[in-house]
Amino acid sequence: MNRVLDPARLAYDVLAADYDTFTVTLDYEPWLAEALPRLERHGLTGKRLLDVGCGTGKSLVPMLARGWRCSGCDISPAMLAVARQAIGGRAQLAVADMRELPRLGSFDLVWSLNDCVNYLQDRPQLEQALGCMRENLAEAGLLVFDLNTLLTYRTFFAERRVVERAGRRLVWDGRASHDQPPSSIVTAHIEAEGDPASAHLHRQRHFSEAETRQALAAAGLECLEVLGQDEEGTLHPRLRELEHVKALYVARRPTPK
């Protein structure tokens, strides 16, 4: 399947040079300190990680520091070029579309973080991507991914924000509404002031918990837990779409009966 003109790839190829500068406050360490013990309670063992949508490698670096053997893939070659500079040869990196993800190995943990999955545009694409990630799981491996909630689409994706870093001003123009309906498509335009070549569009889709659970089952996966994540990154045992900014799903291959 030809994904040369895929909107997500185009968006992140343009954003790659600025991504780390404008996400400098994104710190995975506190999140990992809370998330990894939860995953261990679900049976996580071993230290083989596949990061689907790894971007510039910000979510890989802290796992490498913990002694994990890591691989990563991303749809954007430009984002991976930045990741290679940061990671060097410490992780295997490959350009791949999660909808056509090849079998890259047998992993104890496969994750896709920071709303990568929201770039899928419909339920069939979601099922296809989940099925591909399932094929990369070890027998007892865990799949973890997050999705933006309605709260995020009715706030952050419905607002205009300006972030200034290193002498550049990045303007986020969210084009959703404050009453954005569930399971709808939302867009946001991003541009660095004074740099028309930096302009790009992000296009995401909201997936409800019911829809996501159905997609997991259709992809041959068992949903173990759905957590809500607040703005500080704290995880809560029950998802509330209008209180939490992200939903975090934990799944695995079904256990034999």
Q: What is the pLDDT of residues 119-177, one digit of tens each?
A: 999 999 999 999 999 999 999 999 999 999 999 999 999 999 999 988 899 999 999 99
Mean pLDDT (the chain) is: 95
> Do residue 38 and residue 127 come from a single domain?
yes
Q: Extract the tokens encoding 228.
A: 């809500």
Rounded to whole angstroms, how far apart are CA atoms 251 and 142?
A: 6
Mean predicted confidence (pLDDT) in 10-25 = 91
Choosing from 203, 226, 244, the residue where a domain stops is: 203
Residue 193 domain flag: yes
* Percentage of the chain lying above the pLDDT 90 cut: 91
Cα–Cα separations (whole angstroms), residue 204 to 5, 23, 175, 185: 16, 19, 11, 6
Residue 1 domain flag: no
> Do residue 230 and residue 186 come from a single domain?
no
Number of domains in the chain: 2
Query: pLDDT value at position 161?
Result: 94
Amino acid identity of 248? L
Specify the higher pLDDT residue, 1 or 150: 150
Q: Extract the tokens encoding 161.
A: 């924000």
Phi, psi of 222 (to 5 degrees): -105, 125
Cα–Cα nearest to 145, from 51, 211, 31: 51
Three-state secondary structure call for residue 242:
coil
Q: Extract the tokens encoding 125.
A: 């694409």
> Do residue 51 and residue 107 come from a single domain?
yes
> Do residue 225 and residue 120 come from a single domain?
yes
Exposed e or buried b for every residue in 19-52, given b needs 16+ CB within 10 A? Answer: bbebbeeeebeebbeebeebbeeeebeeebbbbb
Query: pLDDT value at position 255?
Result: 83
The continuous run of DSSP H or E covering 38 comes out as helix 28-41
Domain of residue 161, residue span:
152-203
DSSP 125-158: HHHHHHHHHHTTEEEEEEEEEEEE-HHHHHTGGG
Residue 257 domain flag: no
Exposed e or buried b for every residue in 165-178, given b needs 16+ CB within 10 A? Answer: eeebebebebebee
> Do residue 101 and residue 123 come from a single domain?
yes
Q: What is the domain-level CATH number for residue 231? A: 3.40.50.150
Does pLDDT of 3 surpass 70?
Answer: no
Q: What is the pLDDT of residues 27-86, one digit of tens each?
A: 999 999 999 999 999 999 999 999 999 999 999 999 999 999 999 999 999 999 999 999
Rounded to whole angstroms, how far apart are CA atoms 218 and 246?
A: 22
The continuous run of DSSP H or E covering 37 comes out as helix 28-41
